[in-house]
């Protein structure tokens, strides 16, 4: 299998962390989706990364589907099997994925020419992130994992989301969210997270 994408994309990073957690054999192919001559649209009509080539000519795109595939491909899914755990995990994944969308939208807005940026758009994305971390803190019971007694996609996705916020859209979430901060520190220290840090990212202390 081959994973196409950039080393700074949080969508790609989710897949990279899962590949590392599961020790799957997947070749990382660095390819930027943004240049006019990018080859990504030949692999994903939507022109976005990640793209997972499961076999020559057969690609999967959209990070949720890519993670779903990688989670099941080895027959050792890390998704909770019981109904309550399954839906709790989906809830946390949606929250984390939405935070990534908000942080990426914020980054893209800041990259527009200064005179064309919309302060209200930036404020709306910042408010989304603020509400999400507040709700995460109040919903989380505390402990080493968000759902059940082991690492799941919920920990992976929210862990990546918060680190992307640290990287591109800093928010003082640790000061306001002590349970989340205590949970995130060992998650971010996992080998899979350490080995996939975006270039230029300096980890923040809890």
Our finding on whether 4 is near ligand GSH (CB under 6 A) is no
Smallest separation (angstroms) from ligand GSH to the CB of 11: 4
Q: Is 59 in the site for ligand GSH (CB under 6 A)?
A: no
- Does 164 bind ligand GSH (CB under 6 A)? Our answer is no
Asked if 80 touches ligand GSH (CB under 6 A), the answer is: no
- Angle between helix 10-22 and 63-72 (nearest 10): 0
From CA 60, how far away is CA 53, in angstroms rounded?
Answer: 6
Count, residues near ligand GSH per rule CB under 6 A: 12
Question: Using CA atoms, how far apart are residues 84 and 130, in angstroms rounded to an integer?
Answer: 27
Residue 149 CB neighbour total at 10 angstroms: 10
Rounded to a whole number of angstroms, the minimum distance from the CB of residue 183 to ligand GSH is 24
**Beta-carbon-side half-sphere exposure of residue 184 (alpha carbons within 13 Å):** 27
Residues 174/168, Cβ–Cβ less than 8 Å = no
- In the bound state with ligand GSH, the residue whose beta carbon lies nearer, of 33 and 96, is 33
Q: Which of 17, 33, 52, 177 binds ligand GSH (CB under 6 A)?
A: 33
DSSP class of 48: -
Least distance between ligand GSH and beta carbon 107 (Å) = 9
**Residue found under tokens 């940026």:** 117
HSE at residue 89, side-chain half, CA atoms within 13 A, is 22
Least CB distance to ligand GSH at residue 33 (A) = 4
Determine contact, residues 151/145, Cβ cutoff 8 Å.
Answer: yes
Q: How far is the CB of 67 from ligand GSH (least distance, A)?
A: 9
Contact pattern from residue 87 through residue 116 relative to ligand GSH, giving x for each residue in contact according to CB under 6 A and a dash for the rest = -----------------x------------
Residues that bind ligand GSH (CB under 6 A): 9, 11, 33-34, 47-50, 62-64, 104
């Amino acid at each position: 299998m081959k994973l196409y994408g950039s080393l700074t994309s949080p969508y790609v990073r989710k897949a990279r962390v899962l590949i590392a957690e599961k020790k799957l054999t997947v070749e990382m192919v660095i390819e930027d989706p943004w240049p006019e001559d990018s080859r990504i649209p030949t692999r994903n009509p939507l022109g976005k990364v990640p793209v997972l080539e499961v076999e020559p000519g057969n690609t999967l795109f959209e990070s949720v589907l890519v993670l779903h595939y990688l989670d099941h491909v080895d027959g050792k899914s890390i998704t909770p099997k019981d109904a309550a755990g399954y839906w709790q995990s989906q809830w946390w994944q949606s929250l984390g994925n939405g935070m990534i969308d908000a942080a990426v939208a914020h980054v893209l807005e800041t990259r527009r020419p200064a005179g064309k940026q919309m302060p209200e758009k930036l404020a709306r994305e910042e408010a989304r992130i603020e509400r999400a971390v507040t709700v995460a803190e109040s919903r989380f019971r505390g402990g080493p994992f968000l759902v059940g007694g082991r690492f799941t996609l919920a920990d992976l996705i929210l862990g990546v989301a918060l680190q992307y916020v640290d990287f591109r859209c800093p928010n003082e979430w640790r000061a306001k969210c002590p349970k989340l901060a205590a949970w995130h520190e060992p998650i971010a220290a996992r080998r899979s997270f350490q080995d996939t840090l975006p270039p230029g990212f300096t980890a923040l202390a809890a």
